Amino acid sequence: MKNNIRVERAIIRISQQELADRVGVSRQTINAIELEKYTPSAIVIMKIAFIFNKRVEEIFSLEENDWK
């Protein structure tokens, strides 16, 4: 799953730690999500979208591998 969390963070000027605190996860988790090493749960995805005030599909997108 692809995401553009890093870009969105830069737009609203918040750090990984701040985003992690607002979502309720660790900074390591946010970093792993940004590096696409970890696929978060639906709750975390929706929380991130809410914080950025965007729709989920504007931040996250499925890849071909996700359909297998």
Partner 1 sequence: MKIILYICSINQLKKLFMKKSYLFPNYFKKIGWAVSIPSIIYYILIICFDNLDFKIKMFSIFPSDQVFKESSWFSITDTTFGLTFLPMLLMLSLVFIAFSREKIEDELISKIREKSLIWSVLVFMSLFIFCTLLLYGMLYYYFYIFNIYLLLILMIFKFNFEIYKLKKSLKNEE
CA distance 23 to 43: 9
Which DSSP symbol is given to 50?
Answer: H
Build a one-symbol-per-residue string for 41-60: x at contacts with partner 1 by CB under 8 A, - elsewhere.
x--x----------------
48 CB-near residues (< 8 Å, 6+ apart): 5, 19, 23, 33, 40, 59
Q: Please say which residue, 39 or 61, places its beta carbon nearer to partner 1.
A: 39
Q: Please say which residue, 37 or 55, places its beta carbon nearer to partner 1.
A: 37
Q: Name the residues that contact partner 1, by CB under 8 A.
A: 6, 10, 15-17, 24-29, 31-32, 35, 37-38, 40-41, 44
